[in-house]
Amino acid sequence: MPEGDTVFRTAHALDAALAGSVLLGAEIRHPRLATVDLTGRTVLSAGSVGKHLFIHFSGGGASGSDDVGDISLHSHLRMDGSWRIGAPGARWRAPGHQVRVVLSTTRAVALGVLVHDLAVVRTAREGELVRHLGPDLLGAGWDEDSVAEAVLRLTAEPAREIGAALLDQTVLAGVGNVYRSEVCFLLGVTPWTPVSAVDAEQAVRLCRKLLLRNATRTVRITTGDSAPGRQLWVYRRGGRPCLRCGSPVRSAEQGREIPPRFAWFCPRCQSGPQP
Ligand SMILES: [Zn+2]
């Protein structure tokens, strides 16, 4: 599942490829948005808020008659979505039926593949789509107030399992399944440990540090070691020896989501409840 750092990087790539260019073609393959015509608008920028991605367009379409000011295209990658960028006229690197958005300029073509929660809104009102989120770990405005706010949200339910609380985007925006397991390992607690038994501020700062470090590189590393198989402490390392103590890493389902989501942990390095 794409984490906040992946979405952040995707937004930057879209921004680099599209910003400043006029849309020669724009297709949104969604019944509710099929009649939206973005052709003729200029792509202003692309950015992310947590795992939500926005592409901004200038006001005024080709006709100019329905001008409502700058508008934003919202998308979410969820479990399987991605944005792919190619040269104009290049062969699509995705099956046609999975392509939900096509944005064409003279410089590049961006394909929204299996992107979810598509919405077109006035840019002035896009904040409403992300108002429920906790502080954005990769937000440009991240500061000590963000840390305090995140700690407040994280500790609001002291009995909640830390692994579940970290995944909750209304607590902190940007953490996914990889960081859930990795942050718990670095905190030395299992994902089933109640929030009340965890240093919440340390948890928040760790999430920010790891996402920020990985925001600008394509290989996600939490161990400081870039060698293959040694980049992550426990995530998807079930049955393999812990990189710190050598004990077999374990995994177990956490939460009741469908499909089930697993958390990985080292039973020796991490204290606290285990399923
Ligand atoms: Zn260990």
Q: Is 209 a catalytic residue?
A: no
Domain hosting 114: range is 4-129
Is the C-alpha dihedral spanning 36, 84, 105, 51 positive or negative? positive
> In total, how many domains does the chain have?
2
Task: Show the tokens assigned to 101.
Answer: 């958005």
Whether residue 123 is found in the same domain as residue 38: yes
Q: How confident is the model at residue 105 (pLDDT cuts 50, 70, 90)?
A: very high
190 and 259 inside one domain: yes
Same domain, yes or no, for 206 and 98? no
Q: Are residues 261 and 185 in the same domain?
A: yes
Distance from the alpha carbon of residue 188 to the mean position of ligand 1, in angstroms: 9
For residues 17-42, average pLDDT? 94
> Does residue 138 fall inside a structural domain?
no
Please indicate, yes or no, whether residues 112 and 41 belong to a single structural domain of this protein.
Answer: yes
Residue 126 is given by DSSP the state: G
What percent of the chain is modeled with pLDDT above 90? 87
| Helix (H), strand (E), coil (C) string for 196-207 | HHCCHHHHHHHH
* Centroid of ligand 1 to alpha carbon of 168 (angstroms): 26
Residues 256 and 194 in one domain: yes
* Residue 175 resides in a domain: yes
CA angle 151, 157, 163 (to 5 degrees): 75
Pairing relationship of beta strands 116-122 and 71-76 according to DSSP bridges: antiparallel
Select from 121, 118, 123 the least CA-distant residue to 30.
Answer: 118
User: For ligand 1, a single-atom ion, which residues have Cβ within 5 Å?
Assistant: 242, 244-245, 247, 266, 268-269
The domain boundary residue, chosen from 103, 129, 155: 129
2 is catalytic: yes
The verdict on 158 and 78 lying in the same domain is no
In a domain, 274, yes or no: no
Q: Is the pLDDT of residue 271 over 70?
A: yes
pLDDT at 64 over 50: no
- Which of 98, 129, 160 terminates a domain? The answer is 129
What is the average pLDDT score of the chain? 94
3 is catalytic: yes
Q: Is 253 a catalytic residue?
A: no
Catalytic residue among 9, 27, 41, 51: 51
